[in-house]
Structure 1
Amino acid sequence: MPNEFAPEVLAAFAELERAGFVQGDATAQPLDAARADTRRFQAFLNGDPVPLREVEEVTIAGGLRLRLYHPDSPAPRPALLHVHGGGFAFGTIDTLDRWKREIARDAGVTVVGLEYALSPENTYPTALEQVLAALRWLREGAASYGIDSARLAVSGDSAGGNLALAALLRLRDAGEPLPRCGAIIYGMLSAEHDSPSHRAFGGGEYGLSTAKLDWFWSQYLGPTPREDSGAAPLRADLHGLPPLLLLAAALDPLLDDTLKLAPRLTEAGVPHTLRVIEGVHHGFIAWTRLLPQARAAREAVVESLRRHLG
């Protein structure tokens, strides 16, 4: 298994080190301090805001806060709900702000972010229920915001990939209309950590570690068993899902979650495309300001949205 960072990644790491930005680590810091470090790190990656026609916020039933990124394209527009990562315990509505703006601009869709409830303060299934609430609002109540409820997509990265996939499964099981397509980006899909990618990349030298993932799962699940297929969707029946784009980082302990998901989708008859980006680490899609690999992954998402949403 190749284990070398791309030169551009090493240069970006050096830039971050010079600027004094580090990712928070709840296994080594108080949670509030770790979250504050992560917010500063993410703000640096976002940089100056990418211009859009309009960015507005909406609070829907239950007090769930959404942010709508509107591009310069005529309404009604397709919409993408993106669920941010952070191990269910980190991240805010500002996470991936740059990426969401770039997707809106390049794909001509309204991108929607949400401020879902974090663990350990809120355990499974609170965040999942909020993602479902956001999808249902987009389907039933967003027309006045220029959104075409018949042309929806959902995506998520890391823990957000878990929530996006689990939400699709919940909608399917409830017999509700599904989004037209989805993107699962280095999804945190299983709490089982005895895999080649965990053994190769889980020691911490590539950023995300098996120890951090174990902590994240413990905080998120609370009393829910780790093998519960609602919380760990890699264990679920995957039939009946819409077309999915799978993106993975080659230097990521979670790589095997995506590599295991692809053949299970094939077995279930779900159309999908798998791309593994070489030389990059978990979380790399936030680095579009610094990495050509992140920009290439962004373009893969844009192409998928154009193909499926029109």
Structure 2
Amino acid sequence: MNEQDKLPIVDPDIARFRDRIAAAYAEHAVSANDYAARRAAAEKVRAPWVRGGPEMARSTDLSPGDGCPPMRLHIPVGGYDIAPREGRPLLLYIHGGGWTVFSIETHDRLMREYAARSGFAVLGPEYSLSPEAPYPQALEEMGHVLDWIRANGAAHGLDTRKLVIGGDSAGANLALGTALRERDAGRRGLSGLLLNYGAFDPRPRESWQRLNGPEYMLADDEMAEFWRNYIGNRTLDEVPYAVPLTADLSGLPPAHFCVPAGDILAEENLELAAAMKDAGVAIDLQIYAAATHSFLEAVSISSLAATALDASARWMRDTLEAA
């Protein structure tokens, strides 16, 4: 069997999503160095995939200031059976986009899907983007978000003792980096980590070449650019919370990994899950053989994305019930 035969076959619905995204980007060609234009294009390309989906009981845009970025809080319809009188559990969900593009708007449907499927409230922060705001600015902003949650969550109907932090791609990186910072500061208030196809190490793996290109939604040169934007020319020792595969992983809360097999980041996700398990962290690893990077955003047409979201929501509920 040659190497080509080993490549994952992409689910037809996710392939449709991939092809429509590519066609939409082709209509918005912009200079690679014009980040404002790239972000505006990304918002337009993703907009059709954000429409529809679950209705919320309440969605609130918040602007706390004092170092805390703007945020959006979604409260789903219906009750919740874990200590309902003490408020809803919360998922702090950090959007992806290589620390460079995307926003809470591009990920609004994904946040609402998590809220509706889990019963959790979902809070999405609008963090500062690179290269204008490189490491560690976005990470520090996530610390301010946690401070805001602890100080103000109860007033918004949240049980701040039941807090999962997660994200996709660069957002998963920020979620894990934030958890490491919290642990090192002696704060153990996180209940779980939801890590969707995260970017965890700038050093390329074999999958960066084998799964490189548009068929799998993420290219190696694109990922390398994202890392340059975020950490610049600093060594790995200078960015300890950006590269969790070099960190002490003990003492972290339980973690759920959503790993598409057709993703250049698949190897580092599997390595990280194994390293966390070796460090004594409870791991739930879900691998989706026919999926690509960003596949959860295809939920409006993809039963595979819906299955993955349901699995994550179930893990969130089960993790809190077992705590």
TM-score range, shorter chain: over 0.9
After TM superposition, list the pairs within 5 Å mapping 1:36-51 onto structure 2. Answer: 36-48=40-52, 50-51=54-55
Q: Is residue 292 of structure 1 aligned with residue 306 of structure 2?
A: no
Which residue in 1 is equivalent to 2:60?
A: 56
Alpha-carbon contact 2:68-2:144 (below 8 Å) kept: no
Alpha-carbon contact 1:86-1:158 (below 8 Å) kept: yes
Name the SS of the counterpart of 2:63 in structure 1: strand
Of all paired residues, the percent bearing the same amino acid is 32
Structure-2 separation of matches of 1:145 and 1:248: 33
**Are the structure 2 counterparts of residues 97 and 10 from structure 1 closer, same or farther at C-alpha, using a change threshold of 3 Å?**
same
Alpha-carbon contact 1:22-1:38 (below 8 Å) kept: no
Q: Is residue 93 of structure 1 aligned with residue 104 of structure 2?
A: yes
**Are the structure 2 counterparts of residues 304 and 27 from structure 1 closer, same or farther at C-alpha, using a change threshold of 3 Å?**
farther
Which residue in 1 is equivalent to 2:72?
A: 67
Match of 1:116 among 119, 127, 139: 127
Structure 1 residue runs of 4 or more that deviate by more than 6 Å after TM superposition: 23-27
Structure-1 separation of matches of 2:89 and 2:283: 20
Which residue in 2 is equivalent to 1:102?
A: 113
C-alpha displacement of 1:28: 4.2
C-alpha displacement of 1:84: 0.5
Q: Which runs of 5+ in 2 are unaligned?
A: 1-5
**Are the structure 2 counterparts of residues 225 and 27 from structure 1 closer, same or farther at C-alpha, using a change threshold of 3 Å?**
farther
Alpha-carbon contact 2:297-2:305 (below 8 Å) kept: yes
Which residue in 1 is equivalent to 2:3?
A: none
Structure-2 separation of matches of 1:97 and 1:206: 23
After TM superposition, the score normalised by the length of structure 1 is 0.93
Q: Is residue 178 of structure 1 aligned with residue 189 of structure 2?
A: yes
Structure-1 separation of matches of 2:26 and 2:191: 37
After TM superposition, list the pairs within 5 Å mapping 1:252-267 onto structure 2. Answer: 252-267=263-278
Structure-2 separation of matches of 1:304 and 1:22: 38
Q: Per-residue CA shift, 1:154-199, capped at 9, x if unaligned?
A: 0111000100001000000000123111111111000001x22112
Q: Is residue 7 of structure 1 aligned with residue 7 of structure 2?
A: no
Q: Per-residue CA shift, 1:233-285, capped at 9, x if unaligned?
A: 12111000010001111111111111101110121000001111111211111
Read off the aligned partner of 1:43 and give its amino acid letter: A
Q: Per-residue CA shift, 1:24-67, capped at 9, x if unaligned?
A: 78884632222122111221111235311000022223251111
Name the SS of the counterpart of 1:68 in structure 2: strand
**Are the structure 2 counterparts of residues 85 and 277 from structure 1 closer, same or farther at C-alpha, using a change threshold of 3 Å?**
same
Q: Is residue 212 of structure 1 aligned with residue 229 of structure 2?
A: no
Name the SS of the counterpart of 1:64 in structure 2: coil
Match of 1:161 among 172, 183, 194: 172
Q: Per-residue CA shift, 1:125-151, capped at 9, x if unaligned?
A: 000011121122212321100000111
For these two proteins, the number of residue pairs brought into alignment is: 308
C-alpha displacement of 1:91: 1.1
After TM superposition, list the pairs within 5 Å mapping 1:188-199 onto structure 2. Answer: 188-193=199-204, 195-199=205-209
Farther-moved stretch of structure 1 (88-97 vs 216-225): 216-225
Q: Which runs of 5+ in 1 are unaligned?
A: none
Read off the aligned partner of 1:69 and give its amino acid letter: H
